[in-house]
């Protein structure tokens, strides 16, 4: 039998496509802290272990003290905070956030990862950020480096690009996206447990570069640090008594010494 170059080409193409599809259809659990459960449509939720594979239809739930890290085939990582539930679909390219908080780090040039929650979707081909949702009350998106496209899945054209240092807070079933605000990246990085309690993210240097860029803009007067701080999850803004500082303490701050103000 004579094998033509064309046949070889088709064979290589088919093999490559199959391998690529297999790679894309897998994600792995790379870190588990305390109570983390894996559920699938075919089985009841059970405790998950490091190294387990995740496929379309799987869901991960973290408990009150649980945290987890997932690594996708293209080295995208997703760190799940406590009380977080996510589901995986679309050949692991889409992550549905039902509740809780996720830090995502998508390497530059990676396959586009989409995170959907309510009517909102965020997508990027290279960025680090945090997305948080609480029930029907709010969705919060923060970008630490790279550019994230935030858009509504049910409204064509309702889309905006979030740049490093921008925070968007809105409702999950919103019909119009609000304008983003700005936050202090350095303070966020120093107090974020999804950064501090894990291995450094691969985009650490790019985040530090964004911190430096922002500090220069603060020094220049383009940004004015306010004494309004959201102390972790939620949307409650706290009026800080101390003078605003661009070099926050390395430890997470407590509620002591702050005046609470309803938003």
Q: Which two tokens stand for residue 7?
A: 């046949």
Please say whether the beta carbons of 94 and 116 come within 8 A: yes
What is the distance between the alpha carbons of residues 118 and 139, in angstroms, rounded to a whole number?
9
Out of 127, 189, 201, 207, the residue judged to bind another protein by CB under 8 A: 189
State in angstroms the smallest separation of the CB of 206 from another protein.
Answer: 17
Contact track, another protein, 42-61, x by CB under 8 A: x--x-------------xxx
How many residues in the shown chain lie near another protein by CB under 8 A?
Answer: 79
Nearer to another protein, 110 or 244 (CB): 244
231 is an interface residue for another protein by CB under 8 A:
yes
Beta carbons of 128 and 205 less than 8 angstroms apart? no
In the block, which residue shows the tokens 């964004």? 210
Rank residues 6 and 179 by Cβ distance to another protein and give the closer one: 179
Strand-pair category, 94-106 with 113-117: parallel
Q: Which is nearer to another protein, 74 or 190 (CB)?
A: 190
- Give me the sign of the Cα torsion angle 153, 155, 161, 166: negative
| Choice from 29, 78, 103, 201 touching another protein (CB under 8 A) | 103
- Kindly give, in sequence order, each residue whose CB lies less than 8 Å from that of residue 50, ignoring residues fewer than 6 positions away: 29, 30, 31, 32
Site for another protein in 156-185 (CB under 8 A): 156-161, 165, 167, 176-177, 181-184
- In the complex with another protein, the residue whose CB is nearer, 62 or 92, is 62
Whole-number Å distance between alpha carbons of 154 and 1:
55
Phi first, then psi, for residue 54 (nearest 5°) are -120, 145
Q: x-or-dash pattern for another protein, window 120-149, by CB under 8 A?
A: ----------x-x-xx-xx---x-------
Other C-beta atoms within 10 Å of 75: how many?
11
CB under 8 A: which stretch of 17-25, 47-55, 109-117, 234-242 binds another protein? 234-242
Asked if residue 115 binds another protein (CB under 8 A), the reply is no
CB-nearer residue toward another protein: 92 or 184:
184
């Amino acid at each position: 039998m004579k094998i033509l170059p064309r046949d070889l080409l088709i064979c290589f193409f088919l093999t490559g496509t199959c391998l690529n599809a297999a790679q894309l259809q897998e994600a792995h659990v790379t870190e588990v802290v305390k109570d983390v459960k894996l559920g699938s449509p075919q089985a009841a939720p059970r405790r998950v272990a490091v190294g387990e594979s995740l496929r379309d239809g799987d869901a991960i739930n973290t408990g009150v003290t649980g945290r987890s890290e997932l690594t996708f085939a293209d080295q995208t990582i997703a760190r799940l905070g406590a009380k977080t539930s996510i589901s995986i679909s679309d050949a692991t390219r889409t992550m549905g956030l039902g509740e809780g908080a996720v830090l995502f780090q998508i390497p530059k040039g990676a396959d586009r990862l989409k995170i959907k929650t309510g009517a909102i979707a965020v997508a990027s081909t290279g960025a680090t950020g945090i997305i948080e949702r609480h029930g029907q009350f709010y969705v919060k998106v923060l970008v630490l480096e790279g550019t994230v496209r935030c858009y509504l899945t049910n409204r064509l054209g309702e889309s905006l690009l979030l740049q490093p240092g921008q925070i968007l807070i809105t409702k999950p079933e919103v019909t119009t996206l609000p304008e983003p605000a700005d936050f202090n990246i350095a303070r966020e990085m120093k107090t974020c447990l999804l950064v501090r309690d894990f291995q450094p993210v691969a985009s650490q240097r790019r985040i530090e570069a964004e911190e430096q860029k922002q500090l220069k803009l603060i020094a220049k007067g383009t940004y004015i640090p306010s004494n309004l701080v959201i102390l972790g999850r939620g949307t409650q803004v706290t009026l800080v008594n101390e003078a605003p500082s661009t070099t926050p303490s390395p430890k997470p701050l407590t509620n002591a010494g702050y005046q609470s103000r309803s938003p």
